[in-house]
Structure 1
Amino acid sequence: MASNGDAGAVGTEKINTDIVTLTRFLTEEQTKHKEATGDFTLLCHALQFSFKSIAYYIRRATLINLTGLAGSANVTGDDQKKLDVIGNDIFVAAMKSCAKVRMLVSEEEEEIIMFDDYPDAKYAVACDPIDGSSNLDAGVSVGTIFGIFRLAEGSKGTKEDLLLPGTSLVASGFTMYGASAQLVITMKGGNVNGFTLDNALGEFILTHPDMQMPKKRAIYSVNEGNSLYWEDPVKDYINTLKYPSEGEKPYSARYIGSMVADAYRTLLYGGIFAYPADKKSPKGKLRILYECAPMAMVFENAGGQAIDSHMKRMLEVVPEHIHDRSGIFLGSYDEVQKVIDVHKKYMQ
């Protein structure tokens, strides 16, 4: 028993009172730019609200029967889960209510959503509200991917205004809903910062400042069930990882099947995530505007690389329509470079 003057177990617990919340982080970032109007900060607060809401519904999904199919399919042909529909509704409402978004592209919506009540809004948002939702019933991590564009002066508010390369993104990131909700966000030319949702406080707390990924790591993440359809350079590349030169160890395989979860692990530990185009899907499977480009921006700002199946820098790929697809390789700089080097041999 503690003597008089001893605080005991609770009293000796160290409590961090200098907590950087996402709200504080965004406000401090805004003060660094004299030209800032606060519009971007308000938009990010609306995003934050949608992430918290989706995290809440995912935690309670099984209890309130939100898993299972909703009875319809989205524009890309995937069966919609109930949570997909809810996540999309939350996103649309949050982007509309902040009054700073002119248009929104969602994986769940066939057409672009125009917010005509705010014709002077300067931003456009592209999102996949719940990526990897086919894993929801199994309790596997899913996530939200987003990209923010600033519309050009004189933009007429048409979907053609949003057919932009990833180099036009002003910010991007993703939230992973797993054991905890992890938010990763980056801004053009800036650092990559990771936040963790503290459910007790209801706040995203900065836990991974200035994320930099390892330059190389012997881990690969790819759906090898598609290997029958891969082009020869991809088969050759993967075989070099599995069957290395004598004296070298083969790479470890890690594949979850949820892009956000696989990408987050790759960002933290290094290695490579690949979803190449193949003979079955010549253009690739992942959407450029709201999956490939936002992830590419995160990985480049963290010191990695991201390319498409033609070995073109992913951030320079221009989508032909709002749901256009691409193959992708992203990860540690040296690991992606190996993909490029193997493809160069075939080009020669």
Structure 2
Amino acid sequence: MSYRTLSQYLEQQSEPGQGNLTAELADVIQTIATTCKTIDQALQKGALAGVLGSAEHENVQGETQKKLDVISNDYLIDALKTHQNVGGLASEELDDFTPAQENGQYLVLFDPLDGSSNIDINMCVGTIFSILPAKNARTQASDFMQPGTQQVAAGYVLYGPSTMMALTIGTGVVFFTLDPESQQFLLTSENVQVAAETKEYAINASNQRHWEEPVKRYIAELQAGKTSVREKDFNMRWVACMVGDIHRILCRSGIFLYPYDTKDPQKAGRLRLMYEANPMSMLMEQAGGAATTGRVRILDIQPTELHQRVPVVIGSSSEVERVTSYHQSHQ
């Protein structure tokens, strides 16, 4: 069977009327993909390369970094800051944005290694990226303050049993699989769709005592299964890596929740709007799903800071709408 490479796909999609893609944007996506191959190689070597374990310091989020967090971040910064079409970068791991090229047409935001707590136990991790149009010849911090609706492309690379890329340029969602022999990302799924109905959910149940009442109500109904108002049984899946959980939903539908809770009332949510929620929400909506905070559509949120956090309810549209309606009726 013959598969199209990422390069061939982007070349075909750059024709007029094919979403947001331009030759310049295609080149930025290619650079991200190439860098993710390098990250994949570092992950494959694991303990053999001495890259496991803690980096012995914290990131801007106050989280202890893994060595591969730092390595992955450096790979992406080095590859993109010299790219002629990139005006600026922002990473979940860094306090401030990184200026790139004057007159670069695009801004790139990324979580270099999502789910890094899984590294040392050899479970799936991923890289998430979001691409916005640049606003000025010389990038300023305010240029990144664009709602998710302004994204021209978004995606992730999942480092698992096989390494895969999910990508949207505004014309649906496609999957590529990295061929270990040719080291090419090959198109393996087109027009990825998320069903409106599902029987799977993902949530960190250890935080249950801290949830708001609408979330407690929703999860209690799912747990009650056929004996509840839902009249069907649900299964819970939790990977502790947003890339893994979202990939499962894109493959077979479901709902993922990381809601607001009172564990740390000062935090509006756990996940980062710019590096996680926005790109994943674009992918989900492009696949026919939905994404809200439980109260408002995520892609409509006007960012106010680079490391802004939000609650996330994302996945099959009927379930996301139900959770959102519970929040609205509770208010």
- Normalising by structure 1, report the TM-score: 0.90
- Check whether the contact 1:155–1:161 (CA below 8 A) recurs between aligned residues: no
- Select 1:257's aligned residue among 234, 237, 240: 240
- Select 1:274's aligned residue among 243, 257, 281: 257
What residue in structure 2 maps to residue 335 of structure 1? 319
Aligned partners of 2:137, 2:273: CA distance in 1, in Å? Answer: 21
- Check whether the contact 1:273–1:330 (CA below 8 A) recurs between aligned residues: yes
User: Which secondary structure state, in structure 1, belongs to the residue aligned with residue 196 of structure 2?
Assistant: coil
User: After superposition, what is the alpha-carbon deviation per residue over 1:68-104, rounded to whole angstroms, capped at 9, x for unaligned?
Assistant: 0111111111111111111001100111232211110
What residue in structure 1 maps to residue 47 of structure 2? 62
User: Which secondary structure state, in structure 2, belongs to the residue aligned with residue 225 of structure 1?
Assistant: helix
User: After superposition, what is the alpha-carbon deviation per residue over 1:268-299, rounded to whole angstroms, capped at 9, x for unaligned?
Assistant: 11110000011123401100001000000000
| 1:310-325 → structure 2 map (5 Å cutoff) | 311-325=295-309
Aligned length: 326
Matched, 1:92 2:77: yes
User: Which secondary structure state, in structure 2, belongs to the residue aligned with residue 136 of structure 1?
Assistant: helix
Aligned partners of 1:285, 1:342: CA distance in 2, in Å? Answer: 20
User: After superposition, what is the alpha-carbon deviation per residue over 1:226-269, rounded to whole angstroms, capped at 9, x for unaligned?
Assistant: 11111111111111111145372331010011110011111111
What residue in structure 2 maps to residue 307 of structure 1? 292
- Check whether the contact 2:281–2:290 (CA below 8 A) recurs between aligned residues: yes
Give the AA of the match of 1:279: T
Give the AA of the match of 1:165: P
Aligned partners of 1:284, 1:320: CA distance in 2, in Å? Answer: 14
- Select 1:199's aligned residue among 180, 184, 187: 180
Give the AA of the match of 1:325: R
- Check whether the contact 1:171–1:187 (CA below 8 A) recurs between aligned residues: yes
What residue in structure 1 maps to residue 215 of structure 2? 234
Give the AA of the match of 1:250: D
- Select 2:206's aligned residue among 219, 225, 229: 225
Between 30-39 and 338-347, the greater mean CA deviation after superposition: 30-39
Quickly say closer, same or farther: Cα 1:284–1:96, change in 2 above 3 A. Answer: same
Aligned partners of 1:244, 1:70: CA distance in 2, in Å? Answer: 43
1:130 shift after superposition: 0.3
Aligned partners of 2:264, 2:302: CA distance in 1, in Å? Answer: 18
* Structure number, greater radius of gyration: 1
Aligned partners of 2:21, 2:310: CA distance in 1, in Å? Answer: 34
User: Which secondary structure state, in structure 2, belongs to the residue aligned with residue 279 of structure 1?
Assistant: coil
User: Which secondary structure state, in structure 2, belongs to the residue aligned with residue 233 of structure 1?
Assistant: helix
- Check whether the contact 1:272–1:331 (CA below 8 A) recurs between aligned residues: yes
User: Which secondary structure state, in structure 2, belongs to the residue aligned with residue 60 of structure 1?
Assistant: helix
1:36 shift after superposition: 7.1
Aligned partners of 1:95, 1:65: CA distance in 2, in Å? Answer: 25
1:202 shift after superposition: 0.5
Give the AA of the match of 2:246: A
Give the AA of the match of 1:73: E
Give the AA of the match of 1:29: Q
- Check whether the contact 1:49–1:94 (CA below 8 A) recurs between aligned residues: no
User: Which secondary structure state, in structure 2, belongs to the residue aligned with residue 61 of structure 1?
Assistant: helix
Aligned partners of 2:201, 2:311: CA distance in 1, in Å? Answer: 16
| 1:18-97 → structure 2 map (5 Å cutoff) | 18-32=2-16, 38-97=23-82
Matched, 1:162 2:144: yes
Quickly say closer, same or farther: Cα 1:29–1:156, change in 2 above 3 A. Answer: same
Aligned partners of 1:333, 1:245: CA distance in 2, in Å? Answer: 21
Aligned residues: percent identity?
Answer: 35
- Select 1:293's aligned residue among 273, 278, 284: 278
Gaps of 5+ in 2: none
- Normalising by structure 2, report the TM-score: 0.95
- Check whether the contact 2:194–2:253 (CA below 8 A) recurs between aligned residues: yes
Aligned partners of 2:247, 2:272: CA distance in 1, in Å? Answer: 18
Give the AA of the match of 2:304: E
What residue in structure 2 maps to residue 9 of structure 1? none
Aligned partners of 1:200, 1:271: CA distance in 2, in Å? Answer: 33
1:338 shift after superposition: 1.3
Structure 1 ranges of 4+ moved more than 4 A: 33-37
